[in-house]
Amino acid sequence: MRITNLALVILLTILLGLPAYTPAACMEFQLFTPAHNVGKLPQQPQTIGDYLPQTGDDYEMAGSNPDGCFSFNFMNPTAVSGGYTKGIHSMTGSVTLDIDLQTGGTLDIAALAFDGYISSTQSSFQRLVQPGDAAADGNHGSTDGIGNNGTYNASAASNWAFEASYDWYYDVPAGGMGGIDMTFDNYSWDGFIIPVSELTTAGMAATTLDDSLSYFGGNFEQWLLNKIAPQLPQEAAYLLFAQGETNPAWTDQQVGMTTGGLIGETVIGYAVPEPATIMLLAAGLCCAQGMRGSRKDA
C-alpha cells in the first residue's frame, strides 16, 4: 500500500509541475474570422490603404466587408507598382503546425486548408503541396513539395518570431474549380506566434511586433490590442500572425496571371492546445481507482 500511495504522490507532483498545455504536438490554428464575415471582400481593389481591416483608412464600397475579414490574399496580375491590387480574397480555414509552442525550435507545416471568398458566390482554395502530389509532378513549375518547415522563437526577447517556407497551390474560379491554377515554391511566411496572455499593454512593452510586409502604417501593436485581442475566443491560447508575398512559380494562362504577377497574404489565426494536465489527471484518477481495487483485493 505504501508503494502505491508513493506512486500517486509522485504522479500528482509531476502533474502540478507541468505547464498548462501540451508542449509539442500538431497544432491547428483556425483563421480568425468574426461572425459578421459574410463571404465578402475585406476591401475593394484600390491603390491606397494598409490592407488591414478596422483601421482609419478602410476603403468601403458596396460589396466590401472591412469588419469581417482578418486573413486575406491579394492578387496583382500585372505587378503594377504602388500597391495596386486586382482583387482581395477574404479567407477562412486552418493551418496545422507540428510545433513546440513552449520552447520553440524547428517546426513542420502539416496541413493547409484555406478557403478564400472572392465574392459571396465564388471561392478559391489554397492547399499545401507535398512530395507526390499532382502539383509537384514536374508539369507545374519548380514546386516539389519539399521543405514545408520553419522555426519559432518562443520568447518576448525574440519577438515571438515565426518563419516558415513551404509549397502550395491555388485553385481559383477563373480557371474552373477543381484544378491547379497557380503553384508556389518555397513560399516564405514571416511573423510571430504570441501567447494570448501576452496581448496586454505590458506584453507589448516587452516585445516589438510589426507586420513584416509593412502593409500597416499605424501603431501595429495597438491595433492588435484594440481590434484583435478583444474578439478572440475565450479559449484561444496562441495567436499566429504571418505574411508572405511572392511571384507564382507557375500559372495557368486561363486565370489571367503570369509568373510576373504578385501574390500577397496576411494570415491571422488562433490555437487552442490540448491541456496536458487534464489528460494526466484522468490518468491519475485511473491510477487511484486501481489502488483502491488493490486494497480491496488485499
Residue 78 is predicted with a pLDDT of 73
Residue 153 is predicted with a pLDDT of 98
Same domain, 208 and 61: yes
- Rounded Cα gap, residues 81 and 51, in angstroms: 15
Q: Could you give the C-alpha distances from 270 to 38, 139, 280, in angstroms and in order? A: 20, 35, 24
pTM of the predicted model, to two decimals?
A: 0.82
- Contact yes or no for 90/72 (Cβ under 8 A): yes
Same domain, 74 and 214: yes
User: pLDDT digits over 263-285, tens only?
Assistant: 989 999 999 987 754 343 333 33
- Rounded Cα gap, residues 216 and 226, in angstroms: 15
List the one residue out of 54, 178, 171 whose CA is nearest residue 118: 171
Same domain, 112 and 15: no
Residue 56 is predicted with a pLDDT of 73
Same domain, 67 and 52: yes
Same domain, 280 and 270: no
Please write down the long-range contacts of 227-231, taking CB distance under 8 Å and 24 or more positions apart: 227/53, 227/54, 227/55, 228/32, 228/70, 228/199, 228/268, 229/196, 229/199, 231/32, 231/34
Number of domains in the chain: 2
Residue 148 is predicted with a pLDDT of 98
Residue 14 is part of which domain span? Answer: 1-20+276-298
- Residue ranges of the chain with per-residue pLDDT less than 70: 1-24, 38-49, 59-68, 79-86, 276-298
Residue 70 phi/psi, 5-degree rounding, is -115, -30
- Rounded Cα gap, residues 77 and 247, in angstroms: 10
Tally of helices (H runs) and strands (E runs) in the chain: 4, 11
Same domain, 6 and 47: no
- Rounded Cα gap, residues 21 and 277, in angstroms: 7
User: pLDDT digits over 57-73, tens only?
Assistant: 776 666 666 666 788 88
Same domain, 123 and 217: yes
Same domain, 85 and 12: no
**Mode of pairing for the β-strands spanning 24-31 and 87-100:** antiparallel
Residue 43 phi/psi, 5-degree rounding, is -150, 155
Residue 15 is predicted with a pLDDT of 42
Residue 62 is predicted with a pLDDT of 66
